[in-house]
Amino acid sequence: MLETREKVTWHPGASSFSDWLKKHAKQQGIQISSLWRYLNAAAFAVELQTSHWSGVKTPAAIPDKVSAEALEILEKIGRVAPKAIFEQLAADLYEGKIRRLDLLNTWQHYREALSNHATARGRGVKRPTLGEDDEIKQSLAFKQQVWLLLRQTDPLLLGYSAPVTQLDTVGLKAKASCDTILIGRGADKSIFVTELVAVMFKASRKSLQPLIDRFSEQRLWLIVPQEKEGPPSPRPLSRRFDLPDNWGIIRVSDATLVLENQLPAPSEHLPLATRLLLSQLL
């Protein structure tokens, strides 16, 4: 289909490429909308040319495990996500480390941040974007960075012991009170421990109070950026904002997770609220 469009070999059997594609869809017994999706996804993959994708010169070189739907979502993310986040997601998709559902969850966070949930549907409609200096975009980028770091972190560094061997994250909707559920899994993927995670790009008394009111009895990781301007505060974040004792504090510095306050050892049974939340998501 790409060659037909680029070399204009649809002429003279059809009045236009769209006409040719419609006839081709009918011959193949495929919905025309599906063919447009496959065509656009293939074109995007060939034009991507970042890291792993630099070797994809034709659609035949796209890894078998990568679906057109996943590429479609990745293209949407590329319009609004910072370059570093987008390229990491592209590399992970190529290597099979993430799935379409992972990308869809990421896109939903960015999409909800766009004005009026804008989409690019309709002829001539401008594709939605977020500027690099947009604070919403910076906040979302920080959250995406945190999720990637959590999944790459050795559980031992956060105080977890065997049988927890791997950390996974389940993102929640952009407007949820918490951002993520951190899942500690064993070698056989069994769930041994789960924690709530709140990621704050800018922590303040006003932004923290709703979390304290709702989750003061829950085990929770609070993750914030390392303070870069001015001298560091002599008081830890937990004391400065009077945070619950059963919260752990993590700061992100130079793409590294730094523990400021250790989360207390997990109880034998998961809190009821966490169990209920997991039952709705897993």
> How far is the C-alpha of 81 from the C-alpha of 138, rounded, in Å?
9
Q: Give mean pLDDT, residues 33-55.
A: 90
Give the pair of three-digit tokens for residue 251: 């700061």
Between 12 and 119, the more confident residue is 12
Question: What sign does the dihedral 46-48-49-54 (CA atoms) show?
Answer: negative
Q: Give mean pLDDT, residues 258-281.
A: 64
What is the model's pTM? 0.59
pLDDT of 270 above 60: no
pLDDT of 176 above 70: no
pLDDT for 125: 45
Q: Give mean pLDDT, residues 36-58.
A: 90
> How far is the C-alpha of 226 from the C-alpha of 57, rounded, in Å?
41
Read off the pLDDT band of 124 (50, 70, 90). Answer: very low
| Cα separation values, 119 from 77, 131, 195, 270, Å | 12, 16, 33, 40
pLDDT for 126: 54
pLDDT of 210 above 60: yes
What's the mean per-residue pLDDT of the chain? 80
- Per the CB < 8 A criterion, the answer to whether 165 and 155 are in contact is yes
Read off the pLDDT band of 178 (50, 70, 90). Answer: confident
> How far is the C-alpha of 134 from the C-alpha of 82, rounded, in Å?
11
> How far is the C-alpha of 59 from the C-alpha of 66, rounded, in Å?
11
pLDDT for 14: 86
Read off the pLDDT band of 173 (50, 70, 90). Answer: low
Residues in the chain: 282
Between 181 and 61, the more confident residue is 61
Q: Give mean pLDDT, residues 149-169.
A: 87
